[in-house]
Amino acid sequence: MANASPVTTDPGAAHVVEGPADVKPPPSVARRLGIGFWLSIGWLLIVIVLALIAPLITLEPGEARADPDRSVFSLAHPDDTAVGGRLEAPSSELWFGADNTGRDVLSLTIWGSRISLLVGFLAIVIGFLVGGSLGIAAGYFRGLFDKVVSFVFTTLLSFPALILAILITTLLGRTVFWISVSLGVLAIAPVGRLARAQTLVYAERDFVTAARILGAKDSRIVLKELLPNVVIPMSALALLGMGIAIVAEGTLAFLGISAADGLSWGKQIFESGSNARTLQDGPHAALFPIGVVFLTVLALNFAGDRLREVFDAKELAF
Amino acid sequence: MSKLLELEQLAVTFNTPRGPVYAVSDVTLDVSKGEAVGIVGESGSGKSVTVKSLMGLLPRTATVTGGARYEGDDIFDLAKERKKHFYGVDIAMVFQNPMTSLNPVKRIGPQLTEGMRYHRGVSKNAATARALELLNLVRIPDPAKRLKQYPHELSGGMRQRVVIAMALANNPALLIADEPTTALDVTVQRDILDLLDKLRLELDMALILITHDLGVVKDRTDKIAVMYGGRLMERAPTEAVFSDASHPYTQALQRSIPNMSMPRGTRLDPIPGSPPDLAVVPASCPFAPRCTYATEQCSNSIPELEQTPTPVDHSYACFHPLGSAATQTVGGV
Amino acid sequence: MVGVGTDMLRDGDPLIKVENLVVEFRAPGGGRLQAVSDTSFDVMEGETLGIVGESGCGKSTTAKAVIQMPRPTSGSVLYRDNELTQLDKESLRRIRTDLQMIFQDPISALNPRRSIWDIISEGVVIWGTQDVWGDAEINELIESVGIDAQYKNRKPFQFSGGQCQRISIARALALDPRVLICDEPVSALDVSVQAQILNLLDDLKTEHDLTMLFISHDLAVVRNVSDRVMVMYLGRVAEVGDADSLFENAAHPYTQALLAAVPGSNIDADASLSGELPSPLDPPSGCRFNTRCPHVTDECISTIPEFRQHGLDHWVACHHPQSAPVSLD
């Protein structure tokens, strides 16, 4: 290459040294996302934090019964039956009341969140890692690879979701892991298609051509040029997807296909809500977990939507 | 000549999530019967927003103030029945992109006739006959065949002719053409502009031609309004704009554009800086930051529209006008 | 296929020499579309070649074919002594650093998620040339294109169109290219900003010793920047040569029509065109301009015109050139 002689900084009359067009910087992204978004995030953080610290604040089995003056910040062990009376109504001691075997509904709900959130998270991670990579690769490289991947996506989408979930769990085991995997497999196609569509849009923009002319290799282009753009709509979908996965898990539980190795929200609702008698005598046992699921999924949906709106609008304004 | 359209201190403000945007401020302009008026400006000048406000094409976030009168009637306050048959009949509009003006899944014939039948209750046969007439008027070859075609079967230039034909279907007294040739090839542009010229004369129709290209309006308009940053910079008979521009922007614009008579490698005379931010409350001349003649006065107050001493209607909004207007004592505010 | 000849290629040692370039695409709905047919031209070091024509003429495709994006269907592209069409992927990647490009849409040419500093120094990072292009040098580069370097961490959407184009130019220059291909660089900019960018390109050309390919549909702009001009129509070259000679003594009816169409031109309307642009999927036989040419004869339909010399550096592919050739002594 020729010797690099950096130009002297004497632009001359025609080169007005100027800055960005705006006088004041635009309102920060945080503000534009809005109060609803941050409330949703707040709720999600509460749920997640509680789920994480649950093992630290839960008493040993039997302790709750033994020590009625225990601290407010302690949870009865979820398996502990007869902490309260059968379907005991919510009170200042048992905020969420007790279920039909006397277990602390609050404790059950918090411990249930660990499973449900894990399932939702794992499902989305699987969906994104597999679907996302396939989609981006298909959208960038096109050709035969794209055709094959698109066909796989279409096939997955045509598969009845419930049947697939039942198949996998029946054949491979009704554990948290396999339930997550089956939901993850179902997430691959929708995520993949979004990733592919977004990649197609961005891959034909001039800045990708420019990167290629600069000499960037394909891997660098995908990582530095495409991914930062595609990741935003995908993140929005990730939040929405978690909500869907949590609801899906609940549905599976209602069909009797919940994890044998853990009590999820779905299973909890199933146990407390599928029996008409139980529901009549103590609706709170089902309603509280239902309420928490509802709020959590709502928060995920809302946050996901806001994220997409704000970043889409920014694109359009740009 | 009788006044067809009168705009008085027209202003348009958009309420956006980021605050108000002052797209148009204080535009005063009139168009007489059969007159051709050019509105020239760059992006963000407000030229399109101005005419869209007349046509009721602005989103609900837009607040329009000021007066706009058509043959004496207030456009913004038309009686309901009159309003139904005003747009497309008295005033018609042609846009930049002919593809978005045409319904891609409808044949040309119905698109031409629907306006006539809705506004004037013309029968189907009469409307079709008129449609053929119109296609001939806009010099489209083989009109009978075109009626049955879809928009995608025609080229860009032909589509624009069809759009013009549609606009003329109800014999409007005023045709507004918003950048009608910008999306077209240069050899087609001239044809379309020549066509608009001929039509104007044949039909005694007034024309508002909006463009960013001064060359487009040079020999085709009676007067020109130059807009910048949402305001009128200069408003004068076409001749005067080119030979005796009063406003520094008008002059700077002409000087910065390369033309064929310049020898190769001529150093151009650009206007430094960038177009203004319309989100700022207007409190100064919008061109001041880029004007070589700007003084403190220009940054602190808005110049009003002044008249030049010559008898023809030549106005400018500047504290330091050029040309023959410079000899006039300008009352500083 | 009868060719148009390569007589217009000059002797000497051009920096770029393109011969018999053909670029074909698969048309949507089957069939092949020849965007560029048998085009040849050369560019000497330090020259600016303006390529002008209307939509569908192939000017953009030609420019991109020079840098093999995509590789042309056939023909040769010689850069210095390298036959670019034969290079393997890695060698091509290396040599491309000498041939950079700026694009028509200044905003789409910048990654909205990266800071302009990142964008401009991308080439330096890819090739590891930080020893030559350190922070100070990149700052200077940013200032040299007229952007205040204190805003180097801002994202493209905070800049205007003209400023974005400056950023693109800086990105290209960070690789010390020999050739700058400008694909309609000012068409999408406001009129008052166009002149700024043209002046900037002019200055940078001198400062960085560049050779330029300048593509535009705007004749006045091409007139201003080009040493030589090539007029294209429907994938073929109609006329090529020294800018002054070509514009002052235009021979091809299409060139004359283009000149007549410039707003405010005083060339008579006889040169204005009838009819519409033919479909590139099914171009006319012989001279492709024959469907619209006011001077068409049978020969124009049957035979592809070869290039004939019209001046010292002025070639036209037409059976009936419309101006008098200049004597060649």
pLDDT for B308 equals: 81
pLDDT along chain A (318 residues), means of 10: 27 44 57 85 93 84 66 74 77 81 85 90 93 95 94 91 84 86 91 94 93 94 93 89 89 79 82 82 86 93 87 55
Beta-carbon contacts of A34 under 8 Å, excluding residues fewer than 6 positions away, are A306
Q: How far is CA B271 from CA A48, C143, C193, C197, in A?
A: 57, 19, 7, 11
More confident: B4 or C271 = B4
Using the predicted structure, report yes or no on whether residue B259 has a pLDDT greater than 90.
no
**3-state class of A156 per DSSP?**
helix
Find chain C residues with C-beta within 8 A of A1's C-beta.
97-98, 175-176
- Select from C55, C217, C219 the Cβ nearest to the Cβ of B260: C219
Q: Closest Cα of chain A to B274: distance in Å?
A: 7
Can you tell me whether residue A249 is helix, strand or coil? helix
CA distance B196 to B190: 10
The nearest CA of chain B is from the CA of C292 a distance in Å of 11
Calculate the CA A80 to chain-centre distance. 30
Do residue A18 and residue C147 have CB atoms under 8 angstroms apart?
A: yes
Q: How far is CA A106 from the centre of its chain?
A: 23
Averaged pLDDT, B12-18? 88
What distance in Å separates residue A138's CA from the closest CA in chain C? 19
pTM for this predicted structure: 0.87
List, for residues B191-212, the tens digit of each pLDDT value.
Answer: 889 899 999 999 999 999 999 9
Give mean pLDDT, residues B171-187.
89
Q: Is B277 on the interface with A (CB under 8 A)?
A: yes
Q: Using an 8 Å Cβ cutoff, are C246 and C257 in contact?
A: no
Handedness of CA B284, B287, B290, B296 (dihedral sign): negative
pLDDT of residue B328: 61
- DSSP state letter for B40: E
Cβ atoms of C168 and C110 within 8 Å: the answer is yes
Enumerate the β-bridge partners of residue B228. Answer: B231
Phi, psi of A303 (to 5 degrees): -60, -45
Q: Nearest residue of C to residue A3 by CA position?
A: C176
B258 to chain A, any CB pair closer than 8 A? The answer is: no
Picking from C262, C321, C287, the residue whose alpha carbon sits closest to that of residue C54 is C262
Cβ-based burial of C88 (10 A; exposed 0-12, middle 13-18, buried ≥19): exposed
Nearest to B253 among C191, C224, C263 (CB): C191
Name the residue facing A22 among B17, B268, B277 (closest C-beta). Answer: B277
* Residues of B whose CB is below 8 A from C228: none
Residue carrying structure tokens 């949906």: A301
Using a 10 angstrom Cβ sphere, with 0-12 exposed, 13-18 middle and 19 or more buried, the burial of residue B108 is buried
Residue in B161, B185, B189, B226 to test binding to C, most C beta-carbons within 10 Å: B185
Nearest CA in chain B to C50: B264
Which residue ranges form the domains of chain A, and what is each CATH number? 105-311 (1.10.3720.10)
In this structure, the dihedral spanned by the alpha carbons of residues B191, B193, B198 and B199, taken in order and rounded to 10 degrees, is 110
Query: Is A14's CB within 8 Å of C199's CB?
Result: yes
Instruction: Dihedral sign for Cα C262, C266, C270, C271, please.
Output: negative
In which band, very low, low, confident or very high, does the pLDDT at B333 lie, cut at 50, 70 and 90? very low
Q: HSE of C92 in the Cβ direction (CA atoms, 13 Å)?
A: 19
Q: Pick the closest to residue A6 from B273, C248, C170 (CA basis).
A: C170
Confidence at residue A64, expressed as pLDDT on a 0 to 100 scale: 66
Q: Do A22 and B280 touch (CB under 8 A)?
A: no
**Residue A108 has what pLDDT?**
87
| B155 vs C225, C227, C276: nearest CB | C276
Chain A neighbors (3+ CB pairs < 8 Å): B, C
Q: Please count the other Cβ atoms lying within 10 Å of the Cβ belonging to residue C245.
A: 20
Tokens of A179: 């339930």
| Residue ranges in chain C whose pLDDT is less than 70 | 1-3, 264-274, 328-329
Using pLDDT thresholds of 50, 70 and 90, give the confidence band for residue B332: very low
Question: Quick one: closest CA in C to B157, which residue?
Answer: C276
The whole-number average pLDDT for the span B46-75 is: 92
Residue pair C167/C187 in contact by the 8 Å Cβ criterion: no
Nearest CB neighbour to A211, from listed C67, C97, C122: C122
| CA C86 centroid distance within chain | 22
Question: Interhelix angle for B186-203 vs C253-261, to 10°?
Answer: 50
CB contact under 8 A, C111 and A229: yes
DSSP string, A21-84: S-SSPPPPHHHHHHHHHHHHHHHHHHHHHHHHHHHHHBPPTTHHHH-TT--TT-B--TT-TTSS
* pLDDT value of residue C85: 94
**ipTM at complex level:** 0.90
Q: What are the distances in angstroms from CA A168 to CA A176, A178, A186?
A: 12, 7, 11
* Least Cα separation, residue A24 to chain B (angstroms): 10
Query: Would you state the pLDDT for residue A9?
Result: 28
Give the whole-angstrom CA distance, residue A132 versus residue A138.
Answer: 10
